[in-house]
């Protein structure tokens, strides 16, 4: 198993390019199931979650290949869904990635049936899929549970009004995809507003779907008889961009993330500015600089456009070095403080009560051996390691490899001393 070894305490400086958004690529890959022709997703990062979904689509009969992308070093994934005969997602693939549930809506809409292993809980919480199933049932699908699998069938889905009990990103995406081929009009109320939902809506529209309202909390989808193949450019990863900016801020550095879209990151950029970092929008990117102390600020996660749960752990690492008290409240997932115990081992002072962490800033953290527990928690440990004098080893970085493309190379290019070694 690979680990990261970090010699911390160096100021990061320079420009780094953001990759395409994992959480935008995954629904686009699932949307390929709906099409009559091949889909090409440009700007796809090389990540484990993306190859896992590729394997799942191949298991169902699709042909999935990686192709070059116009000479800029970025890749595209090309999926030809015409060979799909087996609308099943087995446990072995679903258990490693919950986003596999995204194939449910497209399969039932295009093939009339789906059988997918029910995803269990995961490290960050219970994460049920009741809203996905409720929505598909409202569209006329019959869902049943047997031997740990969800089986769902419908001859043709029919449009309906679906009210989500809570904002769910993949739930909204699943229903939006299913509704594209349904008979009649579907209205998704209390829909998720994330940029990744908008990216999917844009791609579906290029495929011939009739969708409006994405980005608001009500999305209207008028069903069409068929969708065609397209090439679609994926949006930049706002979570990776936020993590890289935090790497600049936590080390008192000067970092520009090229390709980052500031309007998709308002909540994070504002908190960085409140903490005393200087944020500026530069042509084609965002720059962060910090010279003075880190001011402790409070953050509370909430659905977009609120502060993203996927940046909570990284921001908490930053607050560990704040000049006072910071309250970090997690409202999306019930178990997303697993980085706390590891940060404490570096000298952080954090008390947790329920979904709230009180972080008392310390003047310095110290390097330590650490265990990564989930994707974003791993990133927070890397940030803390970059700021802490001494050596930090981050174990189990396979979690990090699910969602960050060559993070060690990107950070090294900014002057960090970080290497990947075999344990
Ligand atoms: N929920 C339910 N029932 C449902 C669906 C969701 O109770 O049917 C609950 C969840 O348990 C959670 C809340 O609703 O408490 C929100 O979950 P959501 O469905 O929005 O999460 P998701 O779609 O499974 C996506 C991202 C996550 C990100 C969350 C929140 C993808 C592939 N995953 O997950 O990304 O944290 O939205 O923004 O888009 C990550 O990249 O590290 C990651 C975990």
Indicate if ligand 1 lies below 6 Å from the C-beta of 89. no
Provide mean pLDDT across the span 4-11: 97
Alpha carbon distances (Å) from 141 to 33, 223, 273, 423: 17, 15, 48, 48
Query: What are 80's strand-pairing partners?
Result: 63
Provide mean pLDDT across the span 153-177: 97
* Higher per-residue confidence, 146 vs 354: 354
Angle among Cα 91, 97, 223 to the nearest 5 degrees reads 90
Distance CA 326, CA 351 (A): 11
Residue ranges of the alpha helices (H) in 95-140?
A: 104-111, 130-138
Over residues 233-260, the pLDDT tens digits come to 999 999 999 999 999 999 999 999 999 9
- Name every residue whose Cβ is closer than 8 Å to that of residue 146 and which is 6 or more positions away in sequence: none
> If you measure from the C-alpha of residue 337 to the centroid of ligand 1, how many angstroms do you get, rounded to a whole number?
16
- The number of CA neighbours under 13 Å toward the Cβ of 263 is 4
What atom in ligand 1 is closest to the CA of residue 129? 8
Distance CA 423, CA 410 (A): 21
What atom in ligand 1 is closest to the CA of residue 134? 8
Instruction: Count other C-beta atoms under 10 Å from residue 7's C-beta.
Output: 17
- Residues of the chain above pLDDT 90, percent: 90
State the burial class of residue 346 (Cβ atoms within 10 Å of its Cβ: 0-12, 13-18, 19+). Answer: buried
Distance CA 231, CA 77 (A): 10
Per the prediction, the chain carries an average pLDDT of 95
> If you measure from the C-alpha of residue 267 to the centroid of ligand 1, how many angstroms do you get, rounded to a whole number?
18
Angle among Cα 9, 11, 13 to the nearest 5 degrees reads 155
Provide mean pLDDT across the span 327-342: 95
> If you measure from the C-alpha of residue 69 to the centroid of ligand 1, how many angstroms do you get, rounded to a whole number?
30
Provide mean pLDDT across the span 406-417: 97
State the burial class of residue 291 (Cβ atoms within 10 Å of its Cβ: 0-12, 13-18, 19+). Answer: exposed
What atom in ligand 1 is closest to the CA of residue 166? 14
Indicate if ligand 1 lies below 6 Å from the C-beta of 403. yes
* Higher per-residue confidence, 97 vs 287: 287
Pocket test for ligand 1, best of 52, 122, 123, 171 (most atoms within 8 A of CB): 171
What atom in ligand 1 is closest to the CA of residue 49? 32
State the burial class of residue 130 (Cβ atoms within 10 Å of its Cβ: 0-12, 13-18, 19+). Answer: exposed
> If you measure from the C-alpha of residue 390 to the centroid of ligand 1, how many angstroms do you get, rounded to a whole number?
36
Residue pair 397/4 in contact (Cβ under 8 Å)? The answer is: yes
User: Over 60: is that where the pLDDT of 70 sits?
Assistant: no
Instruction: Write down the pLDDT at residue 98.
Output: 86
Distance CA 79, CA 61 (A): 11
Query: What are 176's strand-pairing partners?
Result: none
Distance CA 225, CA 416 (A): 53
Residue ranges of the alpha helices (H) in 236-347?
A: 238-250, 266-274, 312-319, 339-345
Indicate if ligand 1 lies below 6 Å from the C-beta of 174. no
Over residues 267-296, the pLDDT tens digits come to 999 999 999 999 999 999 999 999 999 999
Say whether 198 is catalytic: no
Distance CA 263, CA 270 (A): 11
Indicate if ligand 1 lies below 6 Å from the C-beta of 376. yes
Indicate if ligand 1 lies below 6 Å from the C-beta of 131. yes
Distance CA 282, CA 256 (A): 8
Provide mean pLDDT across the span 92-113: 93
User: Over 90: is that where the pLDDT of 337 sits?
Assistant: yes
> If you measure from the C-alpha of residue 133 to the centroid of ligand 1, how many angstroms do you get, rounded to a whole number?
15
User: What is the chain's Cα-based Rg?
Assistant: 21
Output the pTM of the full model: 0.97
């Amino acid at each position: 198993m690979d680990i990261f070894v970090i010699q911390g305490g160096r100021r990061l400086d320079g420009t780094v390019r953001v990759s395409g958004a994992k959480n935008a690529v995954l629904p686009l890959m699932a949307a390929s199931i709906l099409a009559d022709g091949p889909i090409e997703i440009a700007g796809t990062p090389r990540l484990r979650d993306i190859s896992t979904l590729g394997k799942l689509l191949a298991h169902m009969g699709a042909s999935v290949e990686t192709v070059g992308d116009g000479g800029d070093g970025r890749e595209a994934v090309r999926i030809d869904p015409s060979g799909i005969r087996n609308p099943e997602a087995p446990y072995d693939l679903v258990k490693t990635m919950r986003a596999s549930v995204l194939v449910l809506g497209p399969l039932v809409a295009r093939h009339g049936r789906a059988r997918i292993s029910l995803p269990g809980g995961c490290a960050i919480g219970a994460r049920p899929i009741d809203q996905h199933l409720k929505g598909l049932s409202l569209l006329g699908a019959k869902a049943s549970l047997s031997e740990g699998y969800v089986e769902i069938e419908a001859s043709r889905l029919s449009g309906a009004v679906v009210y989500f009990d809570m904002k769910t990103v993949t739930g909204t995406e699943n229903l939006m995809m299913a509704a594209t081929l349904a008979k009649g009009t579907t209205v998704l109320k209390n829909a998720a507003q994330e940029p990744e939902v908008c990216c999917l809506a844009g791609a579906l529209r290029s495929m011939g779907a009739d969708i409006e309202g994405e980005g608001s909390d009500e999305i209207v989808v008028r069903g069409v008889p068929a969708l065609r193949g397209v090439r679609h450019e994926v949006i930049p990863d706002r979570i990776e961009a936020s993590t890289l900016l935090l790497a600049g801020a936590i080390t008192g550095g000067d970092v520009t993330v090229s390709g980052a879209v500031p309007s998709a990151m308002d909540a994070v950029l504002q908190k960085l500015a409140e903490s005393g970092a200087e944020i500026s929008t530069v042509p084609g990117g965002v720059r962060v600089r910090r010279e003075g102390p880190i001011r402790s600020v409070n953050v509370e996660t909430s659905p977009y456009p609120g502060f993203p749960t996927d940046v909570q752990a990284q921001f908490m690492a930053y607050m560990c070095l704040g000049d006072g008290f910071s309250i970090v409240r997690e409202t999306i997932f019930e178990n997303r403080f697993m980085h706390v115990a590891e940060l404490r081992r570096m000298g952080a002072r954090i008390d947790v009560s329920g979904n709230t962490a009180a972080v008392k800033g310390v003047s310095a953290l110290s390097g330590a051996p650490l265990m990564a527990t989930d994707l974003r928690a791993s990133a927070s440990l890397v940030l803390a390691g970059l700021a802490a004098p001494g050596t930090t080893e981050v174990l189990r970085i396979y979690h990090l490899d699910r969602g960050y493309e060559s993070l060690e190379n990107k950070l090294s290019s900014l002057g960090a001393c970080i290497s990947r070694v075999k344990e």
